[in-house]
């Protein structure tokens, strides 16, 4: 059964559109269960009806025509109860409704299972049989497994289908919504520009061309080059193939030679597609034909065709316009499968208003960069058929982590209002730079920044930051192809230290692993977040650690504003070992004649084990800093980068708030100062609570600093403490969030909460 399941899923995955996806499912499931009928009813949300979308065994003419309301029939019951219903004679059931024109009268046995994707009901998968009998347990289990596995494919195909209809203007579906996770808050509206890495056939976006003649000529030129290349490849492969294999290879050499493939592609170009898109479609179809073949050898040939396609694409891309020649429209929203910092650099900043990445996380390098530039960003929008959205209008909502493709005028107006409000708020905050973050009753809260790039420094100073609470040193490591030398590191660090001197600069030692890999130091692990990350890596590689510490110490020579911070610490042993290595570096440099002062040393509290050892740590170090991003992830056991569980990642969870308060109280018992450098400090409501808890420093991205300052200047310390006392006893994160928003509004700080945006 497992093998059948695997094959069906594979075949379904290869199907090009929703219709074919559904068709493959009903045909293959019917055959696998040896039943008379298999059908799929998809839920049409607008009409609140299940529509028969594919069938094997019922009257084909009824497909697309027959539907039943969500409360009707056994199908309706399956959807309402969200569980399988297995009946030996459906007609005898009180809920049964006969669907006219389908010819289902002669079928008795019925098994329906809901198709659910991310808690959303998509439809119902049904099998029926003439016999009066119950489907057995293994059949039921097969159907449930099938439906669970196919739900994602159906959702994706549905999304792609509706996007296609939008781009072809065959359907005016508006407000098509896709969910992701926020990489940077804010709202952007504009046309999508899809960017792909070179020679990635799957990633080629659909794009129309006006000058068809020129496009055909471009393609023919590329084809001539490809022919030569393919023949060369063919010759070298032919030597290693058996004669029957050689024949097959000759076939697709001929496919190029006699213009068959070329002809197909040219026909698509003539229909208006750009050459790369036409190539992708044609190759895709041929690949699919091969991958459907039963013979495993022939199936494997799909890979060869794909390879040919990639070669052609390389030539086409070489002869196509360079990225720098692409004219980016005003208000570009850049869309990519995996956004990279290099891509960010391709778009002129004055044209770029938003970023969408299908993969990646709110913590990925590109998202961190986007935050430091203040560009609204969505990450992990996994269901977005990104190659199909080129040129379509998009609303990017970085507050709720949603993108709307082809939004309606009403929705655009709604979001334009949000942008206007944001602009007003930001304009009002500009005058705050020179003012202190002081509450109405005179409590002074130091506001520091998180940095990673040298560009962050200027922004941070411009916004009135009083120190750096977290310099993510892994970022300069990530932009390179190999470990930077001590001298390189020293120069980079010096820029941060110098720009802020005499204000303090907290440099975190290399925090790689987890979701922050270095291309030149790959770490393969099943559970990277519970694996070799942060201090664990650097203590296992003292040579890397020592070089970095030496570079930091040398960079701070004569400035004396360096604080060194250790990430992901779980035990005192790690602190002691790190201190020993830092002392060794200090001593070594002094022996070499450098004038090195002992830096302040601190640890990050990022895991539950550290929370319960704060006092022990505090006795060993000069400061404590809470990494609330990781702490939230580890306390709640929710991957901070996984869009699937993003709604469970709640910084205002009562357990997180309790832990945050406990940390301050414990550290203060040892008279050690505590800062926080996770994203929570960047949220105005979070900042108020953290101040009330007693945090000595709040460190955040420069973009949010003025908002936080405004919030703290708009409340008294006493009022903040009352608010904390009210919140800390609450047991539900949603209620806490709602209470915070409403209190902020009462205080006249409503404009700092998440803007009122439609659901």
Catalytic machinery residues? 365, 677
Chain position whose Cβ is nearest to ligand PEP: 627
What 3 state SS string does 273-298 have?
Answer: ECHHHHHHHHHHHHHHHHHCCCCHHH
Alpha helices (runs of H) in 58-136, residue ranges in sequence order: 73-81
Q: How far is the CB of 666 from ligand PEP (least distance, A)?
A: 18
Compare residues 208 and 658 and give the one whose CB is closer to ligand PEP.
Answer: 658
**Strands 181-184, 447-451: pairing kind:** unpaired
Compare residues 677 and 744 and give the one whose CB is closer to ligand PEP.
Answer: 677
Reported in sequence order, the residue ranges of 631-733 that DSSP labels E, i.e. its strands, are 673-676, 697-700
Give dist(CA 322, CA 661) in Å, integer. 54
User: Distances in Å between the alpha carbon of 392 and those of 165, 382, 581?
Assistant: 12, 18, 55
Stretch touching Mg ion by CB under 5 A, among 366-374, 440-448, 538-546, 627-635: 627-635
Alpha helices (runs of H) in 374-485, residue ranges in sequence order: 409-429, 454-462, 474-478
- Among Mg ion, ligand PEP, none, what binds residue 696 when CB lies within 5 to 8 Å by partner kind? none
Inter-residue contact 623 to 600 (CB < 8 Å): yes
Q: How far is the CB of 525 from ligand PEP (least distance, A)?
A: 17
3-state DSSP assignment of residue 195: strand
Judged by the rule CB under 6 A, the positions of this chain that interact with ligand PEP are: 363, 470, 472, 511, 606, 627-630, 677-678
- Among Mg ion, ligand PEP, none, what binds residue 678 when CB lies within 5 to 8 Å by partner kind? ligand PEP
CA max distance for the chain: 95
Compare residues 439 and 629 and give the one whose CB is closer to ligand PEP.
Answer: 629
237, containing H or E segment: helix 212-238
Q: How far is the CB of 667 from ligand PEP (least distance, A)?
A: 16
- Among Mg ion, ligand PEP, none, what binds residue 472 when CB lies within 5 to 8 Å by partner kind? ligand PEP
Beta bridge mates, 333: 192, 354
Compare residues 127 and 605 and give the one whose CB is closer to Mg ion.
Answer: 605
- Among ligand PEP, Mg ion, none, what binds residue 114 when CB lies within 5 to 8 Å by partner kind? none
- Among Mg ion, ligand PEP, none, what binds residue 677 when CB lies within 5 to 8 Å by partner kind? ligand PEP
- Among Mg ion, ligand PEP, none, what binds residue 533 when CB lies within 5 to 8 Å by partner kind? none
3-state DSSP assignment of residue 186: coil
CB hemisphere CA count around 615 (13 angstroms): 6
Q: How far is the CB of 422 from ligand PEP (least distance, A)?
A: 24
Q: How far is the CB of 637 from ligand PEP (least distance, A)?
A: 15
DSSP character at residue 485? P
Nearest to 129 by CA among 39, 36, 58, 38: 36
Give dist(CA 155, CA 684) in Å, integer. 37
- Among Mg ion, ligand PEP, none, what binds residue 470 when CB lies within 5 to 8 Å by partner kind? ligand PEP
Q: How far is the CB of 508 from Mg ion (least distance, A)?
A: 9
Other beta carbons less than 10 A from residue 738's beta carbon? 12
Structure token digits, residue 124:
């119902």
Q: How far is the CB of 638 from ligand PEP (least distance, A)?
A: 13
The alpha carbon torsion through 666, 668, 672, 674 (nearest 10 deg) reads 80
Compare residues 156 and 472 and give the one whose CB is closer to ligand PEP.
Answer: 472
User: Using CB under 5 A, which of 627, 643, 684, 686 touches Mg ion?
Assistant: 627
In the block, tokens 């108020």 appear at 688
String marking each residue 581-620 x if it binds Mg ion according to CB under 5 A: -------------------------x--------------
Compare residues 365 and 709 and give the one whose CB is closer to ligand PEP.
Answer: 365
Print burial letters for 33-63: b (CB count within 10 Å at least 16), e (below 16): bebbbbbbbbbeeeeebbbbbbbbbbbeebb
Cα-flanking dihedrals φ and ψ of residue 19, to 5°? -60, -45
Inter-residue contact 84 to 125 (CB < 8 Å): no
Terminal alpha carbon distance of the chain: 42
Question: How many residues does this entry show for the chain?
Answer: 759
Compare residues 651 and 706 and give the one whose CB is closer to ligand PEP.
Answer: 651
Compare residues 143 and 676 and give the one whose CB is closer to ligand PEP.
Answer: 676
3-state DSSP assignment of residue 181: strand
- Among ligand PEP, Mg ion, none, what binds residue 737 when CB lies within 5 to 8 Å by partner kind? none
Give dist(CA 698, CA 691) in Å, integer. 8
Give dist(CA 523, CA 517) in Å, integer. 7
- Among ligand PEP, Mg ion, none, what binds residue 39 when CB lies within 5 to 8 Å by partner kind? none
Residue 630 binds to Mg ion (criterion: CB under 5 A): yes
Compare residues 511 and 696 and give the one whose CB is closer to ligand PEP.
Answer: 511
The alpha carbon torsion through 444, 450, 453, 455 (nearest 10 deg) reads -30
Q: How far is the CB of 635 from ligand PEP (least distance, A)?
A: 12
Residue 515 binds to Mg ion (criterion: CB under 5 A): no
**Cα 29 to the center of its chain, rounded Å:** 33
Q: How far is the CB of 708 from ligand PEP (least distance, A)?
A: 16
Give dist(CA 354, CA 242) in Å, integer. 53
Compare residues 79 and 678 and give the one whose CB is closer to ligand PEP.
Answer: 678
Q: How far is the CB of 686 from ligand PEP (least distance, A)?
A: 12
- Is 248 exposed, middle or buried (CB count within 10 Å of its CB: 0-12, 13-18, 19+)? middle
- Among Mg ion, ligand PEP, none, what binds residue 58 when CB lies within 5 to 8 Å by partner kind? none
- Among ligand PEP, Mg ion, none, what binds residue 456 when CB lies within 5 to 8 Å by partner kind? none
Inter-residue contact 415 to 757 (CB < 8 Å): yes
Q: How far is the CB of 605 from Mg ion (least distance, A)?
A: 10
The alpha carbon torsion through 85, 89, 91, 93 (nearest 10 deg) reads -50
Compare residues 35 and 364 and give the one whose CB is closer to ligand PEP.
Answer: 364
Q: What residue ranges bind Mg ion (CB under 5 A)? A: 606, 627, 630
């Amino acid at each position: 059964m497992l093998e059948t399941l695997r094959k069906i899923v594979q075949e379904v995955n290869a199907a090009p559109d929703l219709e074919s996806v559904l068709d493959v499912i009903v045909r293959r499931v019917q055959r696998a269960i040896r039943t008379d009928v298999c059908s799929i009813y998809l839920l049409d949300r607008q009409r609140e009806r299940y529509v028969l979308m594919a069938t094997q065994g019922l009257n084909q003419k009824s497909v697309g025509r027959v539907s039943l309301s969500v409360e009707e029939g056994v199908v309706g019951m399956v959807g309402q109860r969200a569980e399988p219903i297995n009946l030996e004679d459906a007609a005898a059931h009180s809920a049964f409704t006969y669907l006219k024109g389908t010819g289902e009268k002669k079928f008795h046995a019925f098994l329906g299972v809901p198709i659910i994707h991310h808690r959303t009901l998509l439809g119902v998968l049904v099998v029926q049989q003439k016999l009066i009998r119950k489907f057995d347990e293994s059949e039921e289990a097969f159907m449930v497994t099938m439906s669970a596995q196919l739900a994602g494919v159906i959702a994706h195909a549905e999304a792609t289908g509706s996007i296609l209809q939008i781009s072809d203007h065959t359907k005016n579906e508006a407000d098509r919504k896709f969910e992701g996770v926020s990489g940077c808050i804010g709202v952007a509206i504009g046309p999508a520009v899809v960017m792909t890495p070179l020679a990635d056939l799957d990633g080629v976006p659909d794009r129309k061309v006006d000058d068809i003649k020129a496009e055909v000529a471009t393609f023919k030129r590329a084809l001539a080059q490809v022919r030569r290349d393919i023949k060369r490849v063919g010759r070298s492969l032919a030597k290693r193939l058996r004669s029957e294999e050689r024949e097959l290879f000759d076939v697709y050499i001929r496919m190029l030679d006699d213009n068959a493939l070329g002809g197909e592609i040219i026909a698509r170009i003539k229909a208006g597609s750009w050459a790369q898109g036409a190539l992708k479609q044609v190759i895709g179809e041929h690949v699919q034909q091969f991958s459907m073949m039963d013979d495993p050898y022939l199936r494997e040939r799909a890979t060869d065709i794909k390879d040919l396609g990639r070669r052609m694409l390389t030539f086409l891309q070489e002869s196509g316009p360079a990225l720098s020649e692409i004219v980016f429209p005003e208000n570009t929203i850049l869309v990519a499968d995996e956004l990279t910092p290099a891509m960010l650099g391709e778009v002129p900043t004055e044209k770029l208003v938003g970023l969408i990445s299908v993969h990646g996380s709110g913590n990925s390098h590109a998202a961190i960069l986007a935050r430091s530039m203040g560009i609204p960003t969505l990450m992990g929008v996994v269901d977005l058929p990104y190659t199909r959205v080129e040129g379509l209008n998009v609303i990017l909502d970085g507050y709720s982590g949603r993108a709307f493709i082809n939004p309606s005028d009403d929705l655009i107006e709604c979001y334009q209002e949000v942008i206007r409000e944001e602009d007003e708020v930001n304009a009002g905050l500009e005058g705050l730079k020179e003012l202190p973050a002081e509450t109405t009753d005179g409590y002074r809260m130091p506001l520091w920044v998180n940095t990673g790039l040298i560009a962050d420094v200027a922004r941070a100073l411009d916004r009135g930051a009083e120190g750096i609470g977290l310099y993510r040193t892994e970022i300069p490591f990530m932009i390179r192809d190999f470990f930077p030398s001590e001298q390189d590191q020293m120069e980079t660090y010096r820029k941060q230290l110098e720009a802020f001197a005499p204000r303090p600069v907290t440099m975190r030692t290399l925090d790689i692993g987890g979701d922050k890999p270095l291309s030149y130091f790959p770490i393969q692990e099943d559970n990277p977040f519970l694996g070799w990350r942060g201090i664990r890596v650097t203590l296992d590689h003292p040579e890397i650690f020592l070089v970095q510490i030496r570079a930091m110490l040398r960079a701070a020579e004569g400035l004396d504003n360096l604080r060194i911070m250790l990430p992901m610490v779980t035990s005192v042993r790690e602190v002691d070992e790190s201190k020993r290595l830092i002392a060794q570096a200090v001593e070594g440099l002094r022996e070499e004649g450098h004038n090195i002062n002992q830096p302040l040393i601190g640890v990050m509290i990022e895991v539950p084990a550290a929370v319960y050892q704060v006092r022990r740590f505090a006795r060993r170090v000069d400061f404590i800093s809470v990494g609330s991003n990781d702490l939230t992830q580890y306390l709640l056991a929710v991957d901070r980068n996984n869009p699937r569980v993003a709604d469970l990642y709640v910084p205002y969870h009562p357990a997180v708030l309790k832990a945050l308060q406990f940390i301050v109280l414990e550290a203060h018992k040892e008279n050690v100062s505590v800062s926080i450098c996770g994203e929570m400090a960047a949220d105005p409501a979070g900042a108020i609570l953290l101040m009330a808890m007693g945090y000595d420093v709040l460190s955040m991205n420069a973009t949010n600093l003025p908002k936080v300052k405004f919030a703290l200047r708009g409340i008294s310390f006493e009022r903040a403490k009352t608010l904390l006392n009210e919140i800390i006893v609450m047991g539900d994160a949603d209620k806490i969030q709602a209470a915070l928003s409403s209190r902020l509004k009462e205080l006249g700080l409503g404009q700092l909460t998440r803007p009122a945006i439609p659901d």
